[in-house]
């Protein structure tokens, strides 16, 4: 039986915040780089697609886990609940994709 190669774990913080009047999810991909996904204006679908493509690239090198956070001053409960659910779903999808990629391409 072939064994699927294990990968190091990478945690990416997703911060829910308000920039001016816009609610955004900020995916912190690197120390000084974040990808903003607007929740209250056009462009969210394209921004999410770009984030997903970046996450897929990362899956080739690490197990990616997303962690949602928000500042104490962020109090829009609806967005907090929706984003918690979205991040949980996205983590599940990333796990499934990672298993499939590794079972097909990175078996030892």
**CA nearest 25: which of 1, 43, 9, 6?**
43
What confidence tier does 1 reach under pLDDT thresholds 50, 70, 90?
A: very low
34-58 pLDDT, tens digit per residue, is: 999 999 888 888 999 999 999 999 9
| CA–CA gap between residue 4 and residue 74 (Å, rounded) | 41
Which residues sit opposite 96 in a β-bridge? none
Q: Is the pLDDT of residue 30 over 90?
A: no
Phi-psi region at 43: left, alpha or beta (left = phi > 0; alpha = psi -120 to 50): left
């Amino acid at each position: 039986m072939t064994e699927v190669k294990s990968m190091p774990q990478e945690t990416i913080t997703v911060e829910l915040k308000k920039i001016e009047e816009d609610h955004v999810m900020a995916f912190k991909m690197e120390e000084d780089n974040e990808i903003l996904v607007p929740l209250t204006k056009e462009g969210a679908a394209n921004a999410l697609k770009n984030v997903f493509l970046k996450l897929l690239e990362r899956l080739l090198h690490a197990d990616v886990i997303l962690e949602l956070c928000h500042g104490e001053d962020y109090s829009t409960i609806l967005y907090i609940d929706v984003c918690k659910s979205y991040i949980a779903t996205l983590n599940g999808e990333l796990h499934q994709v990672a298993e499939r990629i590794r079972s097909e391409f990175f078996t030892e």
